[in-house]
């Protein structure tokens, strides 16, 4: 059941991110709701959940919007895997881990994404200075993500604690 819920969450998230959540942009920076979900599952369930949730969401985004398949998938998967390493050492019912790990996750993801884009020739050839990207996009997004993510985390946590999650449907 949990797999089904995560998959549904991923699909709905991808749809909403490409449509409704576009209106959450502040100065052109949109929080990454995929990362919120990945971080939530990585904290609650560990690296395996983090990595495969990331892989799933990344593949969906790649298929729908990517020119090159795999960039988002690989970046999200690695992000989920790394964040999942902290799984055993954090309090799951506090919002603080989600805040901090959202902050870190955005930075990891964006660097992975930029590197992969660069090596797969998907990066604008004109080139954007790294400092500009860091200050204008990555850091604002990570803070924005951390704030929204810690709110979203509470709801995902409650959902995950619900009793129907452990029911077997097959």
Helix-helix angle 47-65:71-84, to 10 degrees? 160
Q: What is the closest distance, in whole angstroms, from the C-beta atom of residue 99 to another protein in the complex?
A: 25
Which of 1, 22, 26, 151 is in the footprint of another protein by CB under 8 A?
22
Are 31 and 109 in contact by the 8 Å Cβ rule? The answer is: no
- Name which of 38 and 146 has its Cβ closer to another protein: 38
For 162: left if phi > 0, alpha if psi spans -120 to 50, otherwise beta; the answer is beta
Determine, following the binding rule CB under 8 A, whether residue 47 of this chain makes contact with another protein.
yes
Instruction: Identify which range of 30-38, 67-75, 127-135, 141-149 contacts another protein by CB under 8 A.
Output: 67-75
What are the Cα distances from residue 59, in Å, to 14, 62, 93, 111, 114?
Answer: 10, 5, 29, 18, 17
Query: Site residues (CB under 8 A) for another protein?
Result: 11, 14-16, 18-20, 22-23, 47-48, 51, 55, 60, 63-64, 67-71, 73-74, 77-78, 81, 116, 120-122
């Amino acid at each position: 059941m949990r797999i089904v819920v995560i998959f549904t969450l991923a699909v709905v998230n991808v749809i909403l991110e490409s449509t409704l959540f576009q209106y959450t942009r502040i100065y052109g920076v949109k929080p990454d709701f995929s990362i919120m979900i990945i971080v939530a599952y990585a904290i609650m369930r560990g690296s395996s959940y983090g990595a495969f949730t990331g892989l799933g969401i990344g593949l969906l985004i790649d298929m729908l919007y990517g020119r090159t398949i795999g960039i988002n998938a690989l970046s999200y998967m690695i992000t989920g895997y790394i964040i999942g390493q902290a799984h055993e050492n954090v309090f799951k019912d506090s919002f603080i881990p989600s805040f901090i790990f959202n902050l870190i996750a955005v930075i990891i993801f964006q660097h992975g994404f930029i590197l992969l884009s660069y090596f797969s020739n998907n990066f604008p050839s004109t080139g954007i200075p790294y400092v500009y990207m860091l200050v204008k996009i990555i850091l604002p997004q990570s803070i924005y993500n951390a704030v929204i993510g810690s709110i979203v985390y509470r709801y995902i946590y409650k959902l995950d604690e619900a009793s129907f999650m452990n029911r077997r449907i097959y």
